[in-house]
């Protein structure tokens, strides 16, 4: 059985369009409630968080209706980062955690992510079982067994304290000026508060959500305004989060942007020196730059690659006993501290290195030289299968032959948007562009 609703990170799409409708959210809530409410003799609970999208209100209510109809008690956290749900699910002894967010996607999109009682995202197998329940339909409980819903007002503060506990005890950020771009998203209050409480001078960007401006010309996918703010204010560091704050991009004092690969390189090398990098390996996806792999090899650290998606990174980390992993896009997973990517925690770990070494951000954030990498996206319509068409397959084969021995080519469907992602790496940038453009043209002609 293949998954029809779930992508690489839960269910996602345009609000009020299948599958992201209120009706489907209610059905999903009922199905996941039935799945986790196995022992009907004890009380069961679920925590629900959301980001700042306007449609979050609709999905919060629909999920609550579905969950309570199966006897689940619902604890509503309001706007909190995705990692807060991962942390608070086991802390509050919940059977299930739900995050309503489409992460870095535009405001018109939304999504539903699930965490198990251990705070980790659900497996493919669990998602397939839930899909089967959705298709079959769920019988509601008797009226006397309907669940209750309760608003939890201090969820953000619980998360703030947990995040601060990951920063070295006794260390402060006095004298450090930090620009933090919250993407008008879930961390718009928590991130500035954490940095200020640790002593930093905070210059907030993207902290005025209105339901429609999440990720709009701000955040980790569009760091230009944050970079300009770092330079104009003479800040020491810029921290750019995405809409649900599970990923981060850093900006040094010169306004230069550094992605997740550079952050992971610094942390992996530092942790290896300290003897606390479990398995002496970093887990990253096939998208991470070849330069990162070479840098780690030079320091005796292995790079374990997975499919794209932070949940696959975490699954490999748990299976291999590793404690550091992430994605080039900025998901940094540190299982010593959290169950999923946490952009704010990763930013704090970088700030700790600045304080410990006394070095500027620009001295720390560019650990290796990247192998030239090019990524282009081609949008397609629902129902189309461009990668299965003969002309596209032929173009891919030709590009692979062109890169043979010189670089690598990666073609994949996005798990969160209707996009074909065409990525290549090659020291020869002329060949690099020719290979990518050849495949992109073939895909474009087929859609």
pLDDT band at 2 (very low <50, low <70, confident <90, very high): low
pLDDT at 37: 85
Q: Where are the domains of the chain?
A: 11-155, 173-257, 260-364, 373-446
pLDDT tens-digit map of 305-316: 999 889 899 999
Give the contacts of 144 (CB within 8 A, at least 6 positions apart): none
CB–CB of 54/152 below 8 Å? Answer: no
What does the alpha-carbon distance between residue 285 and residue 330 come to, in Å, rounded to a whole number?
12
Task: Give the gyration radius of the chain's Cα atoms.
Answer: 22
Q: How confident is the model at residue 185, as a pLDDT?
A: 98
Question: What is the model's pLDDT at position 328?
Answer: 95
Gap between the Cα atoms of 247 and 103, Å rounded: 9
Same topology, domains 173-257 and 260-364? Answer is yes
* Cα separations in angstroms, 82 against 244, 262, 334: 6, 23, 15
Phi, psi of 49 (to 5 degrees): -115, 165
Other beta carbons less than 10 A from residue 43's beta carbon: 14
CB of 177 closer than 8 Å to CB of 235? yes
Q: Which fold has domain 11-155?
A: Alpha-D-Glucose-1,6-Bisphosphate; Chain A, domain 3 (3.40.120)
Told to judge if 41 belongs to the known catalytic residues of this protein, a careful annotator would answer no
* Least confident stretch, 166-175, 292-301, 415-424: 415-424
Backbone φ, ψ for residue 212 (5° rounding)? -125, -5
User: What is the arithmetic mean of pLDDT over 217-240?
Assistant: 98
Tokens for 173, please give them. Answer: 């950020």
Element (H, E) at 59: helix 56-69
Query: Rounded mean pLDDT of 85-97?
Result: 96
Dump pLDDT digits (tens) for 200-214: 999 999 999 999 999
Spot the catalytic one: 55, 69, 101, 103.
103
How much is the average pLDDT of 153-167?
97
Strands 248-251, 73-79: pairing is unpaired
Are residues 296 and 265 in contact, defined by beta-carbon separation less than 8 angstroms? yes
- Is 260-364 in CATH node 3.40.120.10? yes
Neighbouring residues of 339: CB distance < 8 A, sequence distance ≥ 6: 83, 86, 87, 115, 118, 119, 120, 121, 314
pLDDT per residue over 101-129, tens digit each?
Answer: 999 999 999 999 999 999 999 988 999 99
Q: How is domain 373-446 classified at the CATH fold level? A: TATA-Binding Protein (3.30.310)
Distance between first and last Cα of the chain: 27
Q: Give the CA distances from residue 118 to residues 114, 291, 447, in Å, rounded to whole numbers and listed in that order.
A: 11, 35, 42
CB of 140 within 8 A of CB of 36? no
Residue 364 CA: distances (Å) to CA of 145, 267, 347? 56, 10, 13
- Angle between the 155-164 and 190-197 helix axes, to the nearest 10 degrees? 40
Q: Whole-number mean pLDDT of the chain? A: 95
Q: Does the domain formed by 173-257 have CATH 3.40.120.10?
A: yes
Determine the pLDDT at residue 394.
95
């Amino acid at each position: 059985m293949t998954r029809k609703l779930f992508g690489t990170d839960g269910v996602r799409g345009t609000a009020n369009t299948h599958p992201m409708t209120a009706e489907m959210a209610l059905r999903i809530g009922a199905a996941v409630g039935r799945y986790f409410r196995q022992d009907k003799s004890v009380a069961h609970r679920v925590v629900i968080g959301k980001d700042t999208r306007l449609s979050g209100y609709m999905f919060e209510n629909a999920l609550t209706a579905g969950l309570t109809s199966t006897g689940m008690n619902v604890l509503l956290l309001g706007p909190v980062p995705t990692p807060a749900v991962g942390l608070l699910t086991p802390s509050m002894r919940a059977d299930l955690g739900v995050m309503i967010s489409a992460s870095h996607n535009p405001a018109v999109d939304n999504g539903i992510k699930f965490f198990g009682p251990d705070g980790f995202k659900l497996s493919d197998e669990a998602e397939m079982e839930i899909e089967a329940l959705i298709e079959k339909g769920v019988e509601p409980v008797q009226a006397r067994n309907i669940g209750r819903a309760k608003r939890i007002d201090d969820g953000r503060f619980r998360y703030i304290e947990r995040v601060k506990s990951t920063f070295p005890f006794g260390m402060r950020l006095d004298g450090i000026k930090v620009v933090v771009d919250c993407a008008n998203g879930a961390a718009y209050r928590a991130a500035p508060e954490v940095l200020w409480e640790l002593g930093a001078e905070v210059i907030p960007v993207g902290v005025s959500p209105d339901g429609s401006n999440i990720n709009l010309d701000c955040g980790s996918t569009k760091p230009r305004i944050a970079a300009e703010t770092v330079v104009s204010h003479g800040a020491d560091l810029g921290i750019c989060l995405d809409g649900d704050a599970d990923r981060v991009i850093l900006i040094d004092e010169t306004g230069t942007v550094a992605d997740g690969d550079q952050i992971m390189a610094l942390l992996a090398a530092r942790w290896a020196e300290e003897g606390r990098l479990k398995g002496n390996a970093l887990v990253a996806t096939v998208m991470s730059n070849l330069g990162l792999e070479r840098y780690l090899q030079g320091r005796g650290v292995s790079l374990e690659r997975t499919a794209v998606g932070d949940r696959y990174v975490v699954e490999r980390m748990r299976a291999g006993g590793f404690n550091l992993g992430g994605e080039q896009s900025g998901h940094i997973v540190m299982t010593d501290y959290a169950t999923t990517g946490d952009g704010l925690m990763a930013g704090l770990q970088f700030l700790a290195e600045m304080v410990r070494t006394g070095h500027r951000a620009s001295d720390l954030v560019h650990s290796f030289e990247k192998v030239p990498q090019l990524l282009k996206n081609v949008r397609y319509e629902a129902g189309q299968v461009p990668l299965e068409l003969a002309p596209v397959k032929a173009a891919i084969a030709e590009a692979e032959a062109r890169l043979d021995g010189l670089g690598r080519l990666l073609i994949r469907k996005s798990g969160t948007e209707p996009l074909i992602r065409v990525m290549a790496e090659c020291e020869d940038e002329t060949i690099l562009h020719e290979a990518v453009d050849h495949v992109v043209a073939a895909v474009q002609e087929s859609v």
